[in-house]
Amino acid sequence: MTKKTQNYYLLPEEDDPIRTCQSKNFIGNVMVLVAMARPRFNADGVETFSGKIGVFPFVKLQPAQRRSRNREAGTMEIKPVTSVKRDDVRKMFLEDVIPKIREKWSVEDEGKIIFIQQDNARTHVAPTDTDFQLEASQNGFDIRLMCQPPNSPDMNVLDLGFFSAIQALQHHVCPKNT
């Protein structure tokens, strides 16, 4: 939402930017699960599948406890999940990621094995999880979980480029909501 310290160079007629959180010491964080694949192209070089599957935030809907000038008490608000557990990740895979993969997957690649690569964090789903395996093998899909080798910078594509690219884009536009 905002950096703790940020410099702005403004013209005299420009207004100061509005801070979208109450205090610079308590900037909210939202954890997300990103699903992406290699883009696919046909023989003519036209993109048939962009590889973008989805960005799934770990948030919950919660009623507002008090009224304010912005909303009434009981209005549903989106709040970030402060501690993501293995059950939260499993639920995200089963309810959001796998259905979105089935929806967006290209027709030419149906029947092939789809590997979901994750690092070895404790909160991630084990490749032998029975609930995941049952859901992932339905409708003719073969989706498997794969963990990256531990302490392997060559294999950790997430840290090498993806997150640094997100960090670079983050401060171009100030988001208006979670």
The pLDDT tens digits of the residues spanning 10-40 come to 888 988 877 666 666 766 778 888 888 888 8
Q: Is 87 domain-assigned?
A: yes
Q: Is 13 domain-assigned?
A: no
Q: Is 1 domain-assigned?
A: no
Q: Is 111 domain-assigned?
A: yes
Tally of structural domains, the chain: 1
Q: Is 127 domain-assigned?
A: yes
The pLDDT tens digits of the residues spanning 124-174 come to 888 888 898 898 888 888 889 888 776 665 555 555 566 666 677 766 766
The pTM of this model reads: 0.67
**Tokens at 154, concatenated:** 């060559």
pLDDT mean over 48-65:
89
- Helix %, strand %, coil % of the chain (to 5): 25, 20, 55
Give the burial string for 158-177 (b: 16+ CB within 10 Å, else e): eeeeeeeeeeeeeeeeeeee
Q: Is 103 domain-assigned?
A: yes
Q: Is 18 domain-assigned?
A: no
Query: The domain containing residue 86 runs over which residues?
Result: 32-147
Q: Is 157 domain-assigned?
A: no
